[in-house]
Structure 1
Amino acid sequence: MEKSISELPLPTDPATDNAAAQVIEETLIKVSGSPSNTEQNALLNRVVDAWRRRHGKGSPKPILTLVGGYAGSGKTEFSRFLSDITGWAFLDKDSLTRAMVERLLTSLGGDPHDRHTELYLREVRPLEYRCLMETAFDNLRVGTSAILAAPFIAELMDPAWVHRLTNRCAAMSIDVAVVWVRCDVESMREYIEFRGAARDGWKLSNWETYTSTLNTETSPSTAHITVDNRLGSAISLADKTRDTLKRILA
């Protein structure tokens, strides 16, 4: 297995470190556009700063980064890329809660792979997100920044939810960044088919019905940054960035 970015040797001189930081900054600008708001510019600066500090004391102020998007959009891969660069904790909802969700659905007499019925939405989904958020705050309370990968569809469509989260974090001197990963329907289906997860069975069997509920043209108004992963472009660029950093730091 190839080394992750975080496992590569430390830059031995300022010029090498600056070159690596510039590659990271250029990549983030390419996938999300030139910084157009304060929050977008702040996250970009925090990521580059974390790269420079990743083997030092770390940033004095933790940040909570939510990475949302539809199934197959590339949010998990982009979150992993950010974590690899920054060293921030990476929490994926499915990895964290899938076993619990499947057992709970079964105990309630449902399909363990259900992600669309009222049973799941009412009885299980709220617990998933509660587990995810509280695990994030366990990290944040000890000064460790966290990146959360989850759809966050209902949450990011609700400005009041984001406002409450922002206020909760502000009371603890924690910054918040909201990232939405945008992708086209065809690319999402291709990735969903490739990963072959049982939880995607209903989506694939009812694709037209499922996609009729998606808005792939715009991002939630609560998103600070939109990562354009149509045709897999952002993830492809992230992979190229990893290769470039490995050449610089080798």
Structure 2
Amino acid sequence: MARQRPDWNPELLRKHRGEVGLTLEETGEKLREIAERHGFNIAANFQTIWGHEKGSVYPGPHYRRAYCRLYRRNEAQLGFRKALPGEDSPVAPVLAPASTEQNVLDQPDTVRQALSSIREGTEDVDSEALRSRVIDAWRRRTGGGSVDGPAVILVGGYAGSGKSEFAKFLGGLTGWPILDKDSLTRPLVDQLLVALGGEAHDRSSALYREKVRPLEYRCLMEAAWDNVDCGTSTILDAPFISEFSQAEWMQRFHNRCRSKRVSVATIWVECDPESMREYIEFRGAARDAWKMESWDEYLQGLDLTMRPQGPHFVVDNRLGAAVALVDEARDVLSGGGL
């Protein structure tokens, strides 16, 4: 049964299309250009767009992100959902490609806006210092400059929270390598589970949690130490649920980084259950089958108030708000015009 979306106002899509003077075919062409630029998985034919505007088909996450880039509006302003605090300010649409000079001038402000999603989760961290470090790394990539010692950024969150998108954004800005737990270990984890008598895509059994998961995270962390030992800053992308929950683990990690003169930033990406479910369903990964089949049971096992032990930052990606800012920054940085 389809989920009810009482806050959806599909008429706004047609209204915005009319304001910029696009036909359905032209809209589809521009959406496909945006999809190619951002790696979105959409077909964007005029029948689908018409279904979105008439309210017969609710746009999936990639379609909504593409519409936001096309109309220079956030999801609330396009009628997909209610607004979060601070999302009600209008954004002027831009349909013509901006000049190279204008794009360069806009880039720092857009990067700062996207990084503004990072806020202090505890009083002993400085979000402005972290943003400055990331912006400095981005500027060094484009214009040169001095460099501090290496840094390690841990980006964690529940499945479907948007942590990988945010980690990729930080990696794209800084040029720092991203170690994604699944990409790094999944083939070995799958085969190890089978060899131990389990199922390749199991991520919920005691066998996985007790026998396999510790080795999975050990591989991730050892790869990170190899990087920082070479003076290379690194971004780690993984749920880190158990690790962030343990004050002892966090303290050991900070102590080891301190001994290596490595700075640390722990980022927790928070999200609402409905958005997480939608993204998990959308990606269709085999490892998520149990989550989808037993969503209520899975959700009961999540602590939505969880925060990492010790100093940390929080990115508010409820309703995809932080990822929307990331998309906007990527567009400006790529010089993408509509």
> What CA distance in whole angstroms lies between the structure 2 residues aligned with 1:205 and 1:16?
46
Alpha-carbon shift at residue 220 of structure 1 (Å): 2.8
Closer, same or farther: CA 61–70 of 1 in aligned 2, 3 Å: same
Measured on the aligned residues, the alpha-carbon RMSD in Å equals 2.4
Deviation digits for residues 41-79 of structure 1 (CA, Å, limit 9, x no counterpart): 321111011011125366231100000000010111110
Partner residue, 1:72: 160
Aligned pairs for 1:76-225 within 5 A: 76-222=164-310, 224-225=312-313
How far does the alpha carbon of each residue in 1:139-186 deviate from its partner, in whole angstroms, 9 at most, with x for none? 111111111110000000111111110110111110010000000100
CA–CA separation in structure 2 for the residues paired with 1:58 and 1:83: 18
Query: Gapped runs of 5+ residues in structure 2?
Result: 1-35, 40-99
**Match among 119, 134, 138 for residue 51 of structure 1:** 138
Secondary structure at the aligned position of 1:54 is classed as helix
CA deviations over 1:1-24 (Å, ceiling 9, x no partner): 5389xxxxxxx99x9767523321
- Aligned 8 A contact 2:269 2:316 in 1: yes
- Which position in structure 1 is the counterpart of 2:129? 42
Instruction: Give the C-alpha shift of residue 121 in structure 1.
Output: 0.7
TM superposition score normalised by structure 2: 0.66
Distance 1:196 1:151 in 2: 18
Which residue is equivalent to 2:37? Answer: 2
Deviation readout 1:109-144 (Å, 9 max, x if unpaired): 001111111111111001110110111111111111
Paired residues of 2:120 and 2:126 also in contact (CA < 8 A): no
Equivalent of 1:32 in 106, 113, 118: 118
Q: Percent identity, aligned pairs only? A: 50
Task: Report the secondary structure of 1:38's partner residue.
Answer: coil
The whole-number CA distance in structure 2 between the counterparts of 1:224 and 1:184 is: 19
Which of 1 and 2 has higher RCO (CA within 8 Å, sep 6+)? 1
Separation (CA, whole Å) in 1 of partners of 2:306 and 2:197: 37
For the pair shown, which has the larger CA radius of gyration, 1 or 2?
A: 2
Paired positions, count: 240
C-alpha distance in structure 1 between counterparts of 2:109 and 2:293, whole Å = 44
Q: Tell me if the contact between 1:39 and 1:177 (Cα under 8 Å) persists in the aligned partners.
A: no
What letter is aligned with 1:240?
E
In structure 2, C-alpha distance between the alignment counterparts of 1:58 and 1:118, rounded to whole Å: 48
1:178-214: CA deviation from partner (whole Å, max 9, x where unpaired)? 0000001000010001111110011111111110111
What are the ranges of 5 or more consecutive residues in structure 1 without an aligned counterpart? 5-11
Q: Which amino acid in structure 2 is aligned with residue 242 of structure 1?
A: R
